[in-house]
Structure 1
């Protein structure tokens, strides 16, 4: 019986390396879009929070301006589009939209004093 030499295994390491590189590329292609959407959802939430705070500041008189107009400007500076804005009394509620990879991500926020529920905790 003849023994096979190591020379007969030529190219096996290349195939293994190609498989590893292929797996890394496939994983990257799957993970990067998910991370992009996650980052965009956080950007939408931050834009909504900032826009709601700007509108609430305007309704309370802390800053001059029209509440929903300020909210739209702040949302735009944060890479979002103002969807809706409602400024009632000292509070403001907004929704914003961020586009990423062909998807529209929405976020909502409210800023102002706590809502009165009529119950005291303590």
Structure 2
């Protein structure tokens, strides 16, 4: 049976508490664009996304690298604004996707209801 001394336990808990405290105040912020989730907007976005997935630049890639490539292809300016300073990471839930779609729709001049 493993025994942990009181001093060791105190040090372990101190490190654990510091980790929790250090990460507790971190807030992720990004520019938000309104996106109306309509069939026409989804169709427009999907058309560009499909074309980019089939492009020579992105078609041979896979996983996260492909996702990044496709997003940058769909809208380089929106990609730069929302992802370049904090790239999407493996396993990350992409909370910026709707904002990216809103930026794309707005900049493409295809705003639809």
Normalising by structure 1, what TM-score? Answer: 0.25
- Which structure has more strand as a fraction of its residues? 1
- Which structure has more helix as a fraction of its residues? 2
Mark the structure with the bigger radius of gyration. Answer: 1
Structure number with greater CO (CA < 8 Å, separation at least 6) is: 2
Normalising by structure 2, what TM-score? Answer: 0.27
